[in-house]
Each structure stands twice: as structure tokens, then as C-alpha cells.
Structure 1
Amino acid sequence: MNIAYICTEKLPSPAIKGGAIQLMIDGIAPFISQTNKLTIFSITDPLLPVRECRNRIEYIRFPKETYEHDVAAELAKHSFDVIHVFNRPAHIAKYKEAAKQSSFVLSLHNDMFSPLKLCKEKAEQALQSSTLITAVSEYIKQTVIRRYHVPEQKIRVAYSGVDLEKYVPIWTEEGERIRRQLRQTFGIDDQKVIVFIGRLSKTKGPHLLIQCMPDLLLRHPDARLVIVGGKWFSENTWDDYVSMLHRLSAPLKNHIIFTNYIPSEQIPRMFLIGDVFVCSSQWHEPLARVHYEAMAAGIPIITTNRGGNPEIIRHLENGYVINHYHDATAFSKAIDYMFTHPEKAQEMARIGREEVERQFQFRHVAQRFAAIYEEAFTNHCLH
């Protein structure tokens, strides 16, 4: 088949500046392009040419300011069997108008049908223009079904994944070597390390991890919190929230370490610095991809019962799920559990790694989407 991917206008593809959607596209595109012709549309970037063919994949890039219009004009010049629109239901009717002969798959990575983002008229246009819809979690699927009369079979849950070759389990010899090297880089010896990886925003909740440290240090005086990330993808600028994090951490001195932005290709290694990984999401997280990454690295996971997170992290089976997600003491209690039950923590981590090996690799994600494309194309032809 002749397939087109339309990225969001936020970040370029390939994922030279990170981004969950762009990283997923990087992961599945090599598999999809093995048996299909694949074109990927994304925004321009100074580090990338406007057009190029790379590993059998054609990339076409347009300026952010005119992206939607330019993509629609380009679609009219081609004959794609399936056009996969990532996370932009508001644009799909316009793309459908430009490529009436194509079947459309809309994938949802956030609650994009929220009335705050999409009016009812636009939402209904998007639903009508989509042959099939995918969601990164059952939670996101239900956000659409609750608001609109959409048949269950039109929306499929397509869980994401990782490139397992990039993730070395912490219990291997190489994993131990990387761990020692990273700890030496950041001045950490044999202390107990909590690692947070993500954007520094209130919705991601790193402030709660800092707030829980005084209580945690009473029981684990050698604990260290390593906060990996910047304000935004590829940015280390400070806003009011980032400034607040640094003020909050100042009394704790060397117990808190900020790494600032780390390039996406180095993230798989960064998990290995920790004894436990914490996803402190405060918002209705669609299903944060850091869960798949931490599972692949073999790190015990603590997460919050928000959005789609508990769909893959099951309490005391392959991780620890916090219900009182807004309470700092709940985080100190969860971290204390992991530190004082190391054998149970390692058992959960190994289960997580096995689950990634079995169903959350990018080749599995590509298989899921390939089946959806076949169905979308067939359904479109029948109608």
C-alpha cells in the first residue's frame, strides 16, 4: 500500500528533538516501510532538508506557520491508500477534502476530543472523515465514546512500545557498567536513587517528589532524587514553575540533582542511574511512554492512578500505583516500600521487562497498525 503519515506541527520527524509521537513513528516506520511505500509529513527544522528519502522512507517538511495548508495541497498531488493523521482531529476534514480517494486513520495520543480543544461541529466532521480511529489507551478511547455516539469497533486501542535494542536491563553486566558510569558523572556513589524523567511541568508533578524528600530522608538518609528533563523538548530555559522547583530543592542541597535536558537518544541509559523510577503525573495522562521505557530498562516503577497509566502498570504486580496522586506523603510511602522490599521491587521490574519483550516492542506496535491499515483500506473500498 501507499501510506502517508501526517505528524503534528509541534516537532520534526525524525525525532531529533524528541516527542512521544515522533519517537513512535521512528520506531514503527522501518517495519511499515518494509512492505509499503511510506511518506512522512512533518514540520521543517534547520537540521533537516525540506525533502529527503531516507531508508526507503520519503520525508516532506513544511513550515510550522502554514503546515496544515501545505500538507493538504501536497496530499492532492498524490494517491495514498491510507493516510494516518497523528493527534489532529481538527485537521482531518481538510485533509479528507484534499484526498477523497484515501482511507483515513486518526490516532489519538491525548484527549483531543475535549470540548476545550474541539467544538462539536469539528469533532463530528473528524469522526465522519475517519475510516478508523486508534487510541493509545482504553482511557483515551472512552473519552471519545462518552461524548459522541461512536461505535466501539470504530476505535481501536493501539498501545505503544520501544526499540528494545536501545534498552539494556539494569541486571546485566553492561547495564551495571552504564549505571556506574552515570553515577560517577553525577557524583553519586552507592546511594538510593529515585529518578524522574520528563518535562518539568506542573502536570508531570516533579514538585511532589521534591516535597516528599524530607519525609523520605528520615528513613533513607542516603536517598537522592535525580530529575531528568527540561521545561520543554530540547529546552533548558526556566519559567516560574522551573524556578519554583529549584527554590523548593535548595534546602535539600545535594539530595536533589537536576540534569537539565537530555537528548532523546540518551534517555534509555538515564533510567539505569536509578533504583526506582517515578512517574508523578497529576493530569489525566493518556498513557505516558516513559512506562514502557522504564519497563524495558528493568527499573522498578511507581506511577499514579491517572488516565491510562494503570492499564499497563498493575499495583504490586509489575509496579506500584499511587491513588492519592496529589499527596507528597503517598510518594514517600511508595518509594519507601520499594527501598525496603528490594526483592519484590526486582520481581516487579523483571515482570515489566518480560511484558515489553512479549508485546510492547515497536515491531508489535507496527503489526497492530499494519492490521488497522489493511482494515481501513478494505472498509474504504467497500464503501
Structure 2
Amino acid sequence: MHILIVAPEQIPVPPLLGGSVEISILAIARQLARSHRVTIVSRAHARYPRHSVIDGIHIYRVPTGSPAVYLSHVMNFVRGRRFDLVQIDNRPRFVMPLKRLLKKTPVSLFLHSLTFVGPPYASKAAAAQGLSCADVIIANSSSLQQQLGARFPASAGKIRKVWLGVDTKRFAPGPAARKGRAFRLLFAGRVIPRKGLPVLLKAVKLAQAECGQPIHTLVAGSSTRAGYVGRMRSLARKLRVSARFLGTVPHSRIHRVYRQADAFVCPSQKHEAFGLVNVEAMSSGLPVIASRNGGIKEIVDNGRNGYLIRDYRRPRAFAKAIVRLVREDRTRRRMARQARQDCLRRFSWKVSAKRLSGIYAAKLRR
């Protein structure tokens, strides 16, 4: 099978810093390329050639500037070429034009969130049109599958779930923590209000007062909001919480940061379709304390590989879980082992690609 993957127009493949969609595209493509021909079309970037080959995957990069400009260049690339199936990631508006051009070639729409099926990126009618033109729709969690089905019932029957994964070799447990040092919590992701960093900082303040042991917070990520990181630094100082803001850490190096932590916290305040950082943390041997929302609850098994926080708007709810992990070293180590085992069994990229390949093979047999 020759599969063409059309990446979004915003971040190149491979991503220079981060971008969960682009990370997922390349990781799944690497696994698919073991059994199939895989071509990726991505945006051009000054640091990359227009064509390169990575692990047998041909990546062609075309000009961007806007979604419309990028799509026109993608269509010029596709015109006259033959593929067995085309996968479009996160851009419903690309489906109908490419479907018209490719005629009988099956088109898959791989959605990583609800972001691009609603305002300001698309009206409900435009999103519905894109979904209706797709031959199959891939959602990265059961939660996203259900949300899409409820919003677009006419397309619900062709939505399939494929969990994302993690590079279990690169994201692996580090050396045991040295005794006597502060307990280290890690937050990784965009530093924006919906990710809940203020809730975490306030929770650390409460946990530290209760357990009487120093807790250090690592924050890996940056913000698109002017001054927001500065406000978070100020909040940490006001609360007298020990926090180190690392800024943007390139994904090629982020595994080293996970190895510095004792536990991972994901205090998301809004729906998370999947939450790639959670499986990266678990694969690194970290128990996860996370908001019980969206696809996160398909990853974190409460009391087994981490803690799910139902009342996730309240810092005290997170503080209780943090205190438990600080005080109960045996519990933390048991959860850490289980988290790693769960990733090896359920959340590797090999598992993701096998599921996706099966869906595509079934579509082509029809």
C-alpha cells in the first residue's frame, strides 16, 4: 500500500521544537514504512531541503503562508501521482478539494482534537462537509470519537479510534532518585491558561505545607500569550514555591527532562483529546497525576499507574495526590513500574500503526 500523509501547514515534519500532531505523523509513518510505502507532504522550512528521506519515508516540503496557499501547493504535488490512500491530519477543509482531485482514492481524516472542527477555524457546516467527504475518520481517543459523533451524527458511523503512542526506547526510566533531594514534579506542555499551571503551583504550596518536605516543580514549555510565563513566575514567587521554568525544550531532548522527575502532573482545565505528554511520562517510569477529562482517563488508570483528579479545578484535590506520592514511596514505585508496563503493552507507536494499518487495509478491501 502506498500511503500519502498530508501534514498541516503550521509546523514542518520533523518538528524543530515540538508539535504533537507532527510528532505523531512521523512516528506512525516510521512504523507504517516497515510494511508500506509512505510519502509525507509538509510545509517548507529554511532548515530543511525540499525533499528528504528519513527511515525510508519520502518527505516533500512545499511553500506555505496560509492554509489556502499551502493546500494549492499540496494539490500541485498530488496532481498526476498515484496513491492507494491519502491521510489528511487535522485539516477537515482539505478533504473535499483533495477528494475531488483524487476521485476514487480513499481519503482518511486523522483528527487529533476538536480544535479544527469549530470556530474560529471552521463553521459547523464547513467542518461537517469535510467529515462527510472523508472515507474514514480517525480519532485519537474514544473521548474524541464520542465528541465528534455527537457533533456530526451523519459521519459517526465512519469514525474509528487509534490511540497515539510513544517511543518506548527513548522515553525510558532514568536512574533512581538520590536520597535527600527535593521531590520533583514535572509539568510539560504549552504554558497557557487551559493547561492549568496556576492550579498546580497552588497545589504544590498546599502539599508542601502538609508533608513538610521540599517539592521542586519543573515547567517545560513556553507560551504564545505575551507575559503569561512571567505571571506564572510571579505566582510561584508569591506562593514561595520552588519552580524552575525551562522554556521550550526541543522534543528531541525532552526525554532527558522526564528522567529528572519523580512524578508528572497534567492539570488540564479543558477537554484533552488524548494528552501525548502523559504517555511520554508513563513510558519514562513516572506516575501521572492528571485531570479526569477527555482521553486522559483512557490512559491513566486511577490508583494503578497514577491518580485521576475528578475535581480538577481545585488545587487541594491535586495536593492530596501529590502528598500521597511524596509520603508513600512504595506506592510511587509500584505505579511507576505499572505506568511503564502499560506503555509497552498499549501505547507504543508500533501498536498505533498496526491498528491504523488494519483500518486502512479493510477500507481498501471494500
Distance, in Å, in 2 between the alignment partners of 1:339 and 1:54 is 43
Within the candidate set 220, 225, 228, 2:217 is matched to 225
Match of 1:43 in 2: 43
Is 1:146 equivalent to 2:150 in the alignment?
A: yes
Q: CA deviation at 1:102?
A: 1.1
Within the candidate set 171, 184, 194, 1:203 is matched to 194
Match of 2:62 in 1: 62
Deviations 1:148-189 (A, max 9, x none): 22465411110011111102224xxxx34xx67xxxxxxx96
CA contact (8 A) 1:105 1:134 kept: yes
Distance, in Å, in 2 between the alignment partners of 1:152 and 1:126 is 13
| Superposed counterparts of 1:14-163, under 5 Å | 14-65=14-65, 66-111=69-114, 112-114=116-118, 117-150=121-154, 152-163=156-167
Deviations 1:264-312 (A, max 9, x none): 1111121121111101111111111011111101111100012111112
Match of 1:303 in 2: 290
Letter in 2 for 1:267: I
CA contact (8 A) 2:218 2:244 kept: yes
| Structure 1 range deviating more: 113-122 or 31-40 | 113-122
Deviations 1:340-367 (A, max 9, x none): 2221222122111111111211111111
Q: Residues 189 and 14 (structure 1 numbering): CA distance in 2 closer, same or farther, change over 3 Å?
A: farther
Letter in 1 for 2:320: K
Match of 2:257 in 1: 270
What secondary structure does 1:265 align onto?
coil
Structure 1: unaligned runs, 5 residues or longer: 181-187, 233-237
| Structure 1 range deviating more: 7-16 or 370-379 | 370-379
Letter in 2 for 1:25: I
Distance, in Å, in 2 between the alignment partners of 1:251 and 1:152 is 48
What secondary structure does 2:113 align onto?
coil
Distance, in Å, in 1 between the alignment partners of 2:236 and 2:119 is 37
Deviations 1:165-217 (A, max 9, x none): 102224xxxx34xx67xxxxxxx961111111111111111121112232222
Match of 2:12 in 1: 12
Distance, in Å, in 2 between the alignment partners of 1:114 and 1:23 is 23
Within the candidate set 290, 294, 301, 2:281 is matched to 294
CA contact (8 A) 1:105 1:131 kept: yes
CA contact (8 A) 1:15 1:26 kept: no
Is 1:340 equivalent to 2:331 in the alignment?
A: no
Q: CA deviation at 1:74?
A: 1.6
Match of 1:250 in 2: 237
CA contact (8 A) 1:144 1:150 kept: no
What secondary structure does 1:203 align onto?
helix
Letter in 1 for 2:130: A
Is 1:358 equivalent to 2:345 in the alignment?
A: yes
Match of 2:311 in 1: 324
Distance, in Å, in 2 between the alignment partners of 1:216 and 1:128 is 49
Q: Residues 101 and 151 (structure 1 numbering): CA distance in 2 closer, same or farther, change over 3 Å?
A: closer
Letter in 2 for 1:200: V
Q: TM-score, normalised by structure 1?
A: 0.89
Q: Residues 330 and 378 (structure 1 numbering): CA distance in 2 closer, same or farther, change over 3 Å?
A: same
Is 1:367 equivalent to 2:334 in the alignment?
A: no
CA RMSD in angstroms comes to 1.9
Distance, in Å, in 2 between the alignment partners of 1:107 and 1:29 is 13
| Structure 1 range deviating more: 261-270 or 211-220 | 211-220
| Structure 1 range deviating more: 206-215 or 129-138 | 206-215
Identity over aligned pairs, percent: 28
Q: CA deviation at 1:83?
A: 0.3
Distance, in Å, in 2 between the alignment partners of 1:310 and 1:190 is 31
Distance, in Å, in 2 between the alignment partners of 1:151 and 1:351 is 37
Letter in 2 for 1:91: F
Letter in 2 for 1:191: A
Structure 2: unaligned runs, 5 residues or longer: none
Q: Residues 229 and 155 (structure 1 numbering): CA distance in 2 closer, same or farther, change over 3 Å?
A: same
Distance, in Å, in 1 between the alignment partners of 2:209 and 2:37 is 59
The structure whose residues are more often helix, as a share, is 1
Distance, in Å, in 2 between the alignment partners of 1:273 and 1:189 is 15
| Structure 1 range deviating more: 63-72 or 132-141 | 63-72
Match of 2:364 in 1: 377
Number of residue-to-residue matches in the alignment: 361
Q: TM-score, normalised by structure 2?
A: 0.93
Match of 1:185 in 2: none
Match of 1:184 in 2: none
